């Protein structure tokens, strides 16, 4: 059998929903559905995080021995082929007598890939359902697998003349309420949020995600980059996720964040830290809130980016333009995202 049936497509959509019940972190979010030969759903499963059963073994665990014989397993990620803290899922599916496997995304892991070949060589009918939604589900995890670091968004707010603060360093509030609400939604959509010590000392930010109308918005882990001490009475000390500190070696710090399951980092400045990320080629996406105001003076939104001549300019691709109240949001991606 080769084509993918409507029941299998519907089961894949369900598997994607199941995947989202699992936590973001070191392991990908994966969902699975086991279908009987007549298309009925026999069992569902999802992965609950590192060290726990993978989605397909979780689904199989709900069935009696022999119940999956001749069944079709629908999985959002290619069944793995290696023994980590759990055994290879390809083997679990073979032992259960599954006749067909439909999966969405190839496993990019050097050690875990090859599950589909193993199943095929054991006589299982394996098909790949190549849908954008499957990749989108674990886009950030795939990014970490490819690069070894979280996907980085650098955000700043600026006046129309490109200043991030007034001459005395005060910067609250350049933008209006709609832009700020947008920032809170963005915070909440990231695993961690970064600021430099300069911003902590100047602004005393809380760095919580306060999303209008949402009481229990996910809170990113606040990461403060720099050597200076965080004051004992800093508002950040009340953050529900605690404070993580980081040094100046951005690549090393990013690898360490990825090793702790952080897939996305939202860099909120200030200008020194934002520029350091961009200069190092570690910014994948920029979100710039432009307010219709003029500040003049020396406090530019970015400082030295290592661009000495026009040939070295950092060309971007604008991916979104939106008016938020009286401000403008410009979203752009850098080369690493294209």
Smallest separation, CB 296 to ligand NAP (Å): 15
d(CA 119, CA 109): 17
Is-catalytic flag, 95? no
Smallest separation, CB 156 to ligand NAP (Å): 4
Among the residue ranges 28-36, 108-116, 224-232, 311-319, the one whose residues contact ligand NAP (CB under 6 A)? 224-232
Smallest separation, CB 319 to ligand NAP (Å): 19
Calculated CA dihedral for residues 173, 174, 179, 183, nearest 10 degrees: -70
Among the residue ranges 6-14, 24-32, 96-104, 198-206, the one whose residues contact ligand NAP (CB under 6 A)? 198-206
Q: Which is nearer to ligand NAP, 59 or 195 (CB)?
A: 195
By CB under 6 A, tell whether 312 contacts ligand NAP.
Answer: no
Distances (CA, A) of 189 to 49, 146, 214, 216, 266: 19, 21, 13, 13, 9
Largest CA distance in the chain: 74
d(CA 282, CA 336): 8
Residue among 8, 44, 56, 268 flagged as catalytic: 56
Around Cβ 98, how many Cβ atoms within 10 Å?
Answer: 24
β-bridge pairing 151-159 and 192-196: unpaired
Nearest to 219 by CA among 230, 211, 227, 228: 211
Return the residues of window 226-255 that contact ligand NAP according to CB under 6 A: 226-228, 248, 250
By CB under 6 A, tell whether 119 contacts ligand NAP.
Answer: no
Structure-token pair, residue 336: 């690493």
Interface with ligand NAP: number of residues (CB under 6 A): 27
Around Cβ 320, how many Cβ atoms within 10 Å?
Answer: 11
Beta partners for 265? Answer: 152, 192
Among the residue ranges 30-38, 44-52, 97-105, 163-171, the one whose residues contact ligand NAP (CB under 6 A)? 163-171
Q: Which is nearer to ligand NAP, 131 or 331 (CB)?
A: 331
Q: Is residue 127 within 8 Å of residue 12, measured between CB atoms?
A: no
Q: Which is nearer to ligand NAP, 25 or 198 (CB)?
A: 198
Environment class of 295 (CB within 10 Å of its CB; exposed 0-12, middle 13-18, buried 19+) = buried
Among the residue ranges 129-137, 191-199, 209-217, 312-320, the one whose residues contact ligand NAP (CB under 6 A)? 191-199
Return the residues of window 266-305 that contact ligand NAP according to CB under 6 A: 268-273, 276
Which listed residue (202, 235, 305, 328) binds ligand NAP by CB under 6 A? Answer: 202
Beta partners for 151? Answer: 264
Q: Is residue 192 within 8 Å of residue 266, measured between CB atoms?
A: yes
Site string for ligand NAP, 164-183 (x = CB under 6 A): xx---x-x--x---------
Which listed residue (156, 257, 266, 324) binds ligand NAP by CB under 6 A? Answer: 156
Query: What is residue 320's three-state secondary structure?
Result: strand
Structure-token pair, residue 35: 């279908």
Smallest separation, CB 174 to ligand NAP (Å): 6
Among the residue ranges 64-72, 130-138, 181-189, 199-207, the one whose residues contact ligand NAP (CB under 6 A)? 199-207
By CB under 6 A, tell whether 207 contacts ligand NAP.
Answer: no
Which residues are tagged catalytic? 56
List residues binding ligand NAP (CB under 6 A): 156-157, 164-165, 169, 171, 174, 195-199, 202-203, 225-228, 248, 250, 268-273, 276
């Amino acid at each position: 059998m080769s084509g993918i049936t409507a029941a299998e497509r519907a089961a894949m959509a369900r598997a994607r929903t199941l995947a989202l019940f699992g936590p973001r972190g070191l392991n990908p979010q994966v969902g699975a559905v086991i279908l009987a030969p007549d298309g009925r759903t026999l069992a569902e499963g999802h992965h609950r995080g590192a060290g726990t059963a993978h989605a397909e073994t979780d689904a199989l665990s709900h069935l009696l021995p022999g119940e999956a014989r001749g069944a079709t397993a629908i999985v959002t990620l290619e069944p793995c082929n290696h023994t980590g803290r759990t055994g290879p899922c390809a083997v679990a599916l073979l032992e259960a007598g599954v006749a067909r496997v439909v999966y969405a995304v190839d496993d990019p892991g050097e050690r875990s890939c090859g599950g589909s070949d193993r199943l095929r060589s054991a006589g299982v009918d394996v098909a790949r359902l190549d849908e954008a939604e499957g990749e989108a589900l674990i886009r950030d995890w795939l990014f970490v697998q490819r690069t070894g670091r979280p996907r980085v968004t650098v955000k700043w707010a600026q006046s129309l003349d490109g200043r991030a603060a007034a001459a005395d360093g005060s910067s609250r509030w350049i933008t209006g309420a709609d832009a700020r609400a947008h920032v809170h939604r963005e915070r909440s959509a990231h695993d961690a949020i970064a600021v430099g010590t300069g911003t902590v000392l100047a602004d005393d930010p809380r760095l919580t995600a306060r999303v209008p109308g949402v009481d229990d918005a996910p809170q990113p882990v606040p990461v403060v980059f720099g050597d200076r001490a965080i004051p004992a009475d800093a508002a950040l000390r009340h953050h529900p996720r605690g404070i993580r500190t980081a040094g100046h070696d951005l690549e090393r710090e990013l690898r360490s964040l990825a090793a702790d399951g952080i897939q996305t980092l939202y860099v909120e400045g200030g200008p020194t830290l934002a520029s350091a990320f961009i200069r190092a080629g570690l910014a994948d996406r920029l979100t710039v809130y432009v307010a219709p105001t003029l500040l003049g003076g020396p406090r530019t939104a970015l400082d030295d980016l290592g661009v000495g001549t026009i040939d070295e300019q950092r060309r971007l691709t604008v991916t979104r333009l939106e008016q938020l109240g009286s401000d403008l949001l410009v979203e752009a991606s850098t080369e690493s995202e294209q």
